[in-house]
C-alpha cells in the first residue's frame, strides 16, 4: 500500500506542516530522550522514550503531507514509516509496534512490565532512528529542516 491509498481508506488526513512544527517535534524528542535517562522507574523511562520515537514517526508523516486519523493513530503513524523510508524499515516499525503495545500495558494496565534493558534499547534505537529521520528530511524536505 501507499500513503495515497491510506488516505483513500480514510486512515490518514492531509496535513500541511511547517518548519516551526517540525522543530517543535524535534524539541519534544530531545526533551523526552533527556527525561528518559532520568532516575525514574523503567516503566516511565520506557513510556517517555516511546513518546520520542512516536514523535519521530510523526515528523515523517507530517513532512509527507499527512496525519493519522484518531482511530489507531499511534499504530498508523508507526506503520507509515516503511511507506515513507522504504521497505527495509518494516522490521523497525514492527519493533516500534511491540513498544507501542508494551507502553499501553505500563501506562494503563500493569507495572513492572518494562525493564531497564527495554528502556535502554529503545533509547539506543531512537538515537539511530533520529539520524535517519534527519537525513531523510534534509534530502526530501530541506525547507522543513531546522
Q: What confidence category does residue 26 fall into, taking pLDDT thresholds of 50, 70 and 90?
A: very high
Q: How far apart are the first and last CA of the chain?
A: 30
What pLDDT shows up at residue 146?
74
Residues in the chain, overall count: 146
Alpha-helix residue ranges (DSSP H) falling in 9-115:
19-36, 42-63, 73-79, 81-85, 90-108
Contacts of 139 (CB under 8 A, 6+ apart): none
Asked if 12 contacts 67 with a C-beta cutoff of 8 angstroms, the reply is: yes
Would you say residue 92 has pLDDT above 80? yes
CATH of the domain at 65: 1.20.120
Q: What confidence category does residue 124 fall into, taking pLDDT thresholds of 50, 70 and 90?
A: very high
Average pLDDT over residues 116-141: 97
What pLDDT shows up at residue 1?
85
Gyration radius from the chain CA atoms? 15
Average pLDDT over residues 36-54: 95
Q: What confidence category does residue 134 fall into, taking pLDDT thresholds of 50, 70 and 90?
A: very high
Q: Which domain holds residue 71?
A: 3-144
Rounded CA separation 32/61 (Å) = 19
Q: How many domains, the chain? A: 1
Amino acid at each position: 500500500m501507499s500513503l495515497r491509498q491510506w488516505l483513500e481508506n480514510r486512515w490518514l488526513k492531509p496535513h500541511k506542516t511547517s518548519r516551526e512544527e517540525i522543530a517543535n517535534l524535534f524539541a519534544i524528542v530531545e526533551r523526552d530522550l533527556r527525561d528518559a535517562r532520568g532516575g525514574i522507574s523503567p516503566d516511565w523511562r520506557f513510556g517517555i522514550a516511546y513518546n520520542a520515537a512516536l514523535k519521530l514517526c510523526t515528523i515523517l508523516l507530517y513532512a509527507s503531507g499527512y496525519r493519522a486519523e484518531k482511530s489507531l493513530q499511534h499504530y498508523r503513524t508507526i506503520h507509515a514509516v516503511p511507506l515513507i523510508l522504504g521497505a527495509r524499515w518494516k522490521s523497525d516499525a514492527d519493533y516500534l509496534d511491540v513498544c507501542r503495545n508494551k507502553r499501553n500495558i505500563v501506562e494503563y494496565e500493569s507495572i513492572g512490565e518494562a525493564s531497564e534493558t527495554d528502556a535502554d534499547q529503545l533509547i539506543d534505537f531512537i538515537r539511530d532512528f533520529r539520524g535517519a529521520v534527519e537525513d531523510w528530511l534534509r534530502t526530501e524536505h530541506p525547507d522543513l529542516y531546522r
